[in-house]
Structure 1
Amino acid sequence: MERTEAERVTGREKLAASLYDALARGDREQLASLLHPDFVGRTTAGLPMDLGGTYRGADAMRREFWGGIARHFVARAEPASFHAVDGDSLLVIGTYTGNAKASGGVLHADFQHVLTFDGDRIRGLVQLTDSERWHQALNGSTDEFRTVEYSVTDGVGMLRLNRPKARNAINEAMPPELMEVAQRAAADTTLRALVISGHGPAFTVGGDIGAFADTARDDLPGVLRRMTRSYHTALRLLSEIDTPVIASVHGAVAGGGLGLLYVADVALAAENTKFATGFAALGLSGDGGNSWFLPRLVGLRRASELYFGERVLDAREALDWGLVSEVVPADQLEARTAEVTQRLANGPTRAYGEIRRLLRDSWAAGLPEQLHAETEALARTAATQDTAGAIDAFVHKTRPNFEGR
């Protein structure tokens, strides 16, 4: 009986997952069973040890490419998401993690793999990854990120855009790093709140126009496609994590950078902040989820005004329009952010995760579906230790102590 398209996609995802599992375990027999005899691998130009290039045949890919990596790195390819693409192909987005054997340098390099299939075997793999990250690891670099900072302390994650001299303009290196942080946050079961902020005079001015100007005209569409693919994955993951997200913005929030504002549950803005889409002035249509979030947050007419009228909002107007939750004096932004973050981090994390999903999914659900979702979420939260402790505290007239469980 012929399989449906959904069944074929599921089957390809299972084959892909088996490939990454076999690579992690070094299982040659499993690799041999997964790869088609006419397998062709195309890897990123510029990788160290001349590993970038074309490998024809499963044995060549295993011995020369994956074996070459194993000789110099202790590395693992960790897939984060699978996406069906045209024909019998699957896009896999993930991260290479590990260390260089000789130098001990840290390897954190995002990847995009396009897998093609022939029946129940993998016939081809096209790899895209940041080759510079591999060279940095070989040279002993311990710096994980170049354009952002990320740390977690006592359950509170701090994501800071870190291109202050460029006013945190989003260049080609930033989206993959944002995606990597989002993947870590999504996988961190100890995380209880996440703050997104920026170093320097502005939160972010959006895309790096200077870098775009230095890009050949024919190359720009491909560059923007690569950037938005990983950036949009980061935004999706940040919108779906099970902990509250707080955006703390100042100076300017513009272009695709507005997406980092949209994914937050609480958005705090300094009084001096300006907000704008800015796409039309460059002849661009926009990214960063603007076309999805803006009509839902401010209404279609105001969204159109921001796009077509190239309207620039000050912080008070952004508050009035519903883009931010609160406006505070610039010198109080950091303290207010810490206060709000601590309150949320001390709250019922599991319930917050359910609330985030309910609010987000309500935009696409009918009333019957939403009522059913509320019932199921309520039942899940009722089974948590936080709810049991809160009910007991209510009965005994004491303050509940939420532990996020």
Structure 2
Amino acid sequence: MTTEDVLLTVDADGVRTLTLNRPKAYNSLTVELKERLLAALREAADAPEVRAVVLTGAGKAFCAGQDLKEHVALLQANDPRPLRTVSEHYNPIVRTIVEMPKPVVAAVNGPAAGAGASLAYACDLRISASSANFLMAFANVGLGPDSGASWTLQRLVGYGRASELMLLARTVDSAEALRLGLVSEVVLDEELAKRAHAVAAKLAAGPTVCYAKIKEVLSTAAESTLDEALAAEDAAQAVLGATADHREAVEAFVEKRKPTFQGK
């Protein structure tokens, strides 16, 4: 790992922390960073030693979204890559976060705009620094939402509020983000890294097979009928009821001790 890496990876306590590392450019997303992030997320999803993930940014910003300097330069050079980045980069990145069979915590250390905000919305939990803010900036550059924001944002704050935030491209500070439900917690800037790791470590020590099923069932229920949601819950419980973690939790309850989960 060097300071020139556009993406930093650190493992501790079953948690893999991925840090977007282009601080001078507010961690804006170049082709290189998008490709590195996608590969790192897929690796984390498959790594048995990784039981939870933290996504954060270096410096004063979480992520400013697409690197527009690179975007314009590629367009002017008639490079087709900017027109493919949604399908080749953003869509698979968001799908990997949402479908990852382990919890993903966004530690939003500063401004999160455009696709950067979308990445945070895709995570399971969002812990915000007090100086952070969120901006759906797509309309400001004549584009529609991408990176899953049309799906994730309205599930967090509702259709009406999502429409407002996207159409007006209004900046939301951390206090309002907490009121709206965009984030689950706001902490002092200097406490963010420690707090996000503590939350992720707690999840990593928990029944991670259960967490994967919770994510799966919630996703199904968000766009299904009641009968379909009940069937998905039934199927999940049938699987989870046979896990070692469930047996351990029940035995620990009877024995009045703290359970030790193995993620199995």
**Fold similarity call, TM over 0.5:** yes
Structure whose alpha-carbon radius of gyration is higher: 1
Equivalent residues, number:
262
Moved over 6 A (4+): none
Cα distance, 1:237 vs. partner?
Answer: 1.1
Please state if 1:150 is matched with 2:14: no
Please state if 1:245 is matched with 2:109: no
Cα distance, 1:320 vs. partner?
Answer: 1.2
Please state if 1:198 is matched with 2:198: no
TM (norm. structure 2) is 0.93
Q: Distance in 1 between matches of 2:128 and 2:111?
A: 10
Instruction: Report the equivalent of 2:85.
Output: 227
Superposition pairs of residues 2-401 of structure 1, within 5 angstroms: 146-217=5-76, 219=78, 222-228=80-86, 229-401=88-260
Kept after mapping to 2: 8 A contact 1:258/1:288? no
Cα distance, 1:263 vs. partner?
Answer: 2.1
Kept after mapping to 2: 8 A contact 1:176/1:231? no
Cα distance, 1:152 vs. partner?
Answer: 3.1
Q: CA RMSD in A?
A: 1.8
Q: Which amino acid aligns with 1:283?
A: G
TM (norm. structure 1) is 0.62
Calculate percent identity across the aligned residue pairs: 38
Q: Which amino acid aligns with 2:216?
A: R
Kept after mapping to 1: 8 A contact 2:220/2:232? no
Cα distance, 1:224 vs. partner?
Answer: 2.5
Q: Which amino acid aligns with 1:322?
A: G
Cα distance, 1:369 vs. partner?
Answer: 1.1
For the residue of structure 2 that corresponds to 1:173, the secondary structure is helix
Q: Distance in 2 between matches of 1:219 and 1:381?
A: 52
Cα distance, 1:218 vs. partner?
Answer: 7.2
For the residue of structure 1 that corresponds to 2:257, the secondary structure is coil
Cα distance, 1:339 vs. partner?
Answer: 1.6
Q: Deviations over 1:314-373 (max 9, x none)?
A: 001111111111111111112211221121111111101100111112112211111111
Kept after mapping to 2: 8 A contact 1:179/1:234? yes
Instruction: Report the equivalent of 2:262.
Output: 403
Cα distance, 1:217 vs. partner?
Answer: 4.1
Cα distance, 1:244 vs. partner?
Answer: 0.9
Q: Distance in 1 between matches of 2:255 and 2:113?
A: 49
Q: 1:269 to 1:175 in 2, by over 3 A?
A: same
Kept after mapping to 2: 8 A contact 1:178/1:231? no
Q: Which amino acid aligns with 1:223?
A: R
Kept after mapping to 2: 8 A contact 1:253/1:275? yes
Q: 1:335 to 1:153 in 2, by over 3 A?
A: closer
Q: Distance in 2 between matches of 1:254 and 1:183?
A: 23
Q: 1:216 to 1:231 in 2, by over 3 A?
A: closer
Q: Which amino acid aligns with 2:82?
A: L
Q: Deviations over 1:217-244 (max 9, x none)?
A: 4736x33233222221021011111111
Q: Distance in 2 between matches of 1:225 and 1:178?
A: 19
Q: Deviations over 1:234-260 (max 9, x none)?
A: 210111111111110122000011222
Gapped regions of structure 2 (runs ≥ 5): none
Q: Distance in 2 between matches of 1:320 and 1:218?
A: 44
Q: Distance in 2 between matches of 1:354 and 1:180?
A: 23
For the residue of structure 2 that corresponds to 1:190, the secondary structure is coil
Q: Distance in 1 between matches of 2:56 and 2:122?
A: 13
Q: Distance in 2 between matches of 1:339 and 1:349?
A: 16
Q: Deviations over 1:135-162 (max 9, x none)?
A: xxxxxxx98x942122433421111101
For the residue of structure 1 that corresponds to 2:31, the secondary structure is coil
Query: Which structure features the higher share of strand residues?
Result: 1
Q: Which amino acid aligns with 1:150?
A: T
